[in-house]
Amino acid sequence: MEVACLRQGLLRYTWRKLSARINFSNVTSQPAFVTAKQERSKVPQHPVSPSINEDLPPKTEVDLQLVQRLEKLSLVDFVNKEGLTRLEAAISMADQLCVVNTEGVEPMITVLEDRSLPLAEDEVHSGDLSEELLACAQETLEDYFVVPPGNITYSEEKGYYRELDQGEEDI
């Protein structure tokens, strides 16, 4: 009984603190929760597929050259019919956004855009993790990660011929 009284007191105390900040003049003195019947729910009761009647941009055709370039840039393999249709469908769905008037509105980067970035002090907190890191790799050599070579530059061939020339001069 005493505990219940204390709890009520605490609730009223916090409520009073809240009400001091928030204007509750338009709220009548009713219990906190309202039944579903009294207020209309925003969640549709049956599935809805809305269609946009306004003009959409023309359907983007994805040709082979573009696909090859996209594959090279993203390293995602999707050169088959299903992948292409899926891509075109995704682009059409995104086209619906063009209907929205965004004039004068800054694009949102993050939901936390009104906060500022926390900065950390310049200190070293972790040391030598080379053993664990190198253990993740398939092939290592003397504490280096070993990877296959990339593009071979033209200078390499040039250097090869230069070496041959020098060899002949020595003889």
Partner 1 sequence: RSGRKMRHQLRLQTRLQNALLRHYNINSQYKPHLIRDYWEPVIGLEIHAQISSISKLFSRVGTRYGAPPNTQVGIFESAHPGTLPVLNKRCVEAGIKTALAFGATVNKISLFDRKHYFYPDLPAGYQITQLDYPLASNGRLEFIVLNSSLHKHPYRHSVDLLQLQLEEDSGKSIHDKDNNRVLVDLNRAGQPLMELVFAPGLRNGEEAAAMVKEVALILTRIGTCNGRMHEGALRVDANISVHRPDEPLGTRTEVKNLGSIGSLLKAVDYEIQRQIDILESGGNVTSETRSFDTHTQETISMRDKEVIQDYRFMPEPNLLPLRLHDSSEPNCQYDGSLDISKVRAKIPELPEATRQKLIRDYGLSLENAFLLASKDDLLDYFMAVMSNTKRSSKLVCNLLLNNLLEALNSINTDITNSPLSASAFGEIVDLQQSCRIVTNISQQVISAICIERDSRSPTQIVLDNNWLQLSNDVMEEIVEKILADNLELVEKYKKSKKKKLLNALMGKINKASDNRANMKIVNDVLLKKLSS
Closest CA to 5 of 32, 13, 18, 19: 13
Q: Verify binding: residue 112, partner 1, rule CB under 8 A.
A: yes
Distance CA 15, CA 31 (A): 13
Footprint of partner 1 on 65-104 (CB under 8 A): 69, 73-75
Compute CA distances 120 → 109, 123, 150, whole Å: 22, 8, 37
Number of residues that bind partner 1 (CB under 8 A): 43
Q: Verify binding: residue 28, partner 1, rule CB under 8 A.
A: no
Quick one: how far is CA 36 from the chain centroid? 36
Q: Verify binding: residue 135, partner 1, rule CB under 8 A.
A: no
Which positions from 146 to 165 touch partner 1 by CB under 8 A, shown as an x/- string?
A: xxxxxx-xxxx-x-------
Q: What angle do CA 111, 112, 114 make, to 5 degrees?
A: 120
Identify the residue among 128, 165, 168, 169 touching partner 1 (CB under 8 A): 128
Interacting residue ranges for partner 1, rule: CB under 8 A:
69, 73-75, 109-110, 112-113, 115-130, 133-134, 136, 141-151, 153-156, 158
